[in-house]
């Protein structure tokens, strides 16, 4: 997974207007289009038809055009001061055969100027009337680039479809990395697994005043930059004093436009100008009454992150109805990736049972994939266990599970209904039941991911797993069968 090199600086975008604002009167109205890569919906941006100086053609925001090219194997950067779009691809296409044309903006491919064209600068309707303006690129000329690169594509006036062997050829393996009490063990575990193509540092939480509490994990950002990985900063709604998710505290922020705006600005500032690819939002315990406010918050946050050349990923709980704070369809529209936390079906304080029973994961995916494009979805994989005893529950890493089985000389059993391993043991006269994940249960979950054609998986968390699960993940990462 190549790290996105796109940088869109708001101040420079305005300077890059090639067609004057007086020409806007000749622009047809906006309408939403579809961008598909290998048959999967990538985005549905607003576009308009306007003159390129001689012909009428369709223009789309450079952000979405760039995302499509990245999915097809290009890396990119935009310089608003020089009006230059720089693209790099490993293909052996003959870009020199393209007619350069005329215009004040340049497209450079593999170090060579291949196209001169005109662009527009307008406000994206999806961003709201007060948002900063963004650059719009003509699809016709981008089609020429794809053809020269040997990448099949088509445009029928409504859907821009790209077919590429490099596009989404391998699934994303996303890892959550912690920095608890300054420990780097989770990052060290990440560094030992090259299968992981994206990750997030679990470091920040919000405050009731719209501020942020936490410290950037700079070592993780440096690692991401040196290894061409996309690294996000996870921001939660946890209470700093208890460590618990606090939906009521989040509501005090989401319910007030000014505080919400302040929080968004803090988030954008946190990652702007850094090696981090964007923000990962993990707001939990929200009441259903926050549904509209949470959606508005995510929509505005994504728009401002995009303007800073950054992305937004969102973690959502496993649900099978819309009577929650999480409007999945809207969240899918307002995010670049969505992590589905389909685990803790059996939870601390509840009865002992499977953490992620496969039948339940399947039910959740059947619902969620109707609301969110599978091409944006990552299934959360739990790599831990729970020990239930005498009304209490203890979380265990998989090495701790292995140690317990060795200490008490017990063999794991298999819950055939839930497709999960478990075992029982007795300590000081108290009966314990442990459910956890192993190579077989992870393999079964990965098969479900493949059956729904999801974009990938997200591991919670790096450092909790043992060596047994990685062969299955490696097969999945290589695009082969997980069974």
The string of DSSP codes covering 304-339 is HHHHTT-EEEEEEE--SSS-SS--HHHHHHT-SEEE
Name the nearest CA neighbour of 318 among 341, 285, 291, 346.
341
Q: How far is the C-alpha of 5 from the C-alpha of 374, rounded, in Å? A: 25
For residue 409, how many C-alpha atoms fall within 13 Å in the half-sphere facing its CB?
0
The stretches in the chain having pLDDT less than 70 are 1-28, 90-93, 128-130, 165-169, 480-483
Contact 380, 457 (CB under 8 A): yes
SS3 content of the chain, % helix, strand, coil (to 5): 30, 30, 40
pLDDT at residue 90 in the model: 63
pLDDT at residue 6 in the model: 29
pLDDT at residue 123 in the model: 87
pLDDT at residue 129 in the model: 67
Q: How far is the C-alpha of 46 from the C-alpha of 292, rounded, in Å? A: 22
Name the nearest CA neighbour of 287 among 333, 336, 235, 252.
252
Q: What is the pLDDT of residues 406-453, one digit of tens each?
A: 999 999 999 999 999 999 999 999 999 999 999 999 999 999 999 998
Domains assigned to the chain: 10-162 (no CATH), 172-477 (3.20.20.80)
Quick one: residue 273, left, alpha or beta (phi over 0 = left, psi -120 to 50 = alpha)?
Answer: left
Q: What is the pTM of this model?
A: 0.74
For residue 112, how many C-alpha atoms fall within 13 Å in the half-sphere facing its CB?
12
């Amino acid at each position: 997974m190549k790290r996105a090199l796109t940088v869109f600086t708001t101040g420079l975008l305005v300077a890059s207007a090639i067609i004057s604002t007086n020409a806007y009167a000749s622009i047809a109205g906006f309408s939403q289009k579809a961008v598909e890569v290998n048959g999967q919906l990538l985005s549905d941006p607003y576009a308009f038809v306007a003159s390129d100086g001689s012909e009428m053609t369709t223009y789309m925001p450079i952000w979405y055009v760039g995302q499509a090219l990245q999915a097809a194997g290009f890396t990119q950067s935009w310089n608003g001061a020089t009006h230059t779009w720089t693209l790099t691809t490993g293909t052996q296409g003959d870009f020199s055969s393209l007619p350069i044309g005329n215009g004040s903006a340049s497209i450079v491919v593999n170090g060579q100027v291949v196209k001169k064209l005109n662009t527009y600068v307008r406000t994206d309707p999806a961003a709201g009337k007060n948002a900063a303006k963004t650059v719009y690129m003509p699809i016709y000329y981008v089609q020429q680039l794809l053809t020269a690169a040997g990448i099949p594509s088509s445009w029928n006036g409504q859907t821009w479809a790209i077919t590429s062997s490099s596009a989404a050829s391998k699934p994303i393996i996303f890892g959550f990395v912690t920095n608890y009490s300054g420990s780097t063990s989770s990052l060290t575990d990440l560094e030992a697994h090259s299968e992981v193509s994206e990750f997030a540092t679990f470091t920040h939480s919000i405050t009731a005043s719209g501020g942020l509490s936490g410290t950037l994990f700079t070592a993780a950002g440096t690692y991401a930059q040196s290894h061409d990985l996309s690294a996000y900063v996870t921001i939660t709604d946890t209470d700093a004093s208890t460590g618990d998710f606090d939906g009521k505290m989040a509501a005090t922020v989401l319910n007030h436009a000014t505080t919400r705006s302040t929080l968004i600005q803090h988030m954008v500032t946190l990652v702007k100008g850094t090696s981090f690819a964007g923000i990962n939002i993990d707001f939990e315990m929200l009441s259903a009454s926050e549904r509209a406010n949470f959606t508005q918050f995510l929509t505005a946050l994504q728009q401002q992150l995009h303007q800073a050349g950054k992305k937004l990923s969102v973690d959502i709980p496993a649900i099978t109805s819309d009577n929650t704070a999480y409007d999945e369809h809207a969240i899918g529209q307002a995010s670049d990736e969505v992590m589905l936390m389909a685990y803790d079906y059996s939870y601390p304080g509840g009865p002992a049972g499977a953490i992620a029973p496969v039948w339940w994961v399947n039910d959740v995916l059947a619902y969620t994939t109707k609301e969110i494009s599978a091409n944006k979805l990552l299934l959360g994989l739990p790599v831990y266990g729970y020990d239930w005893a005498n009304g209490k529950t203890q979380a265990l890493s998989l090495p701790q599970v292995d140690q317990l089985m060795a200490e008490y000389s017990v063999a794991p059993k298999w819950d055939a209904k839930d497709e999960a391993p478990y075992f029982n043991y007795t300590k000081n006269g108290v009966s314990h039941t442990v459910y956890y994940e192993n190579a077989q249960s992870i393999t079964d979950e990965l098969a479900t991911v493949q059956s729904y054609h999801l974009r990938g998986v997200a591991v919670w968390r790096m450092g909790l797993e043992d060596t047994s699960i990685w062969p299955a993940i490696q097969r999945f990462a290589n695009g082969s069968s997980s069974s």
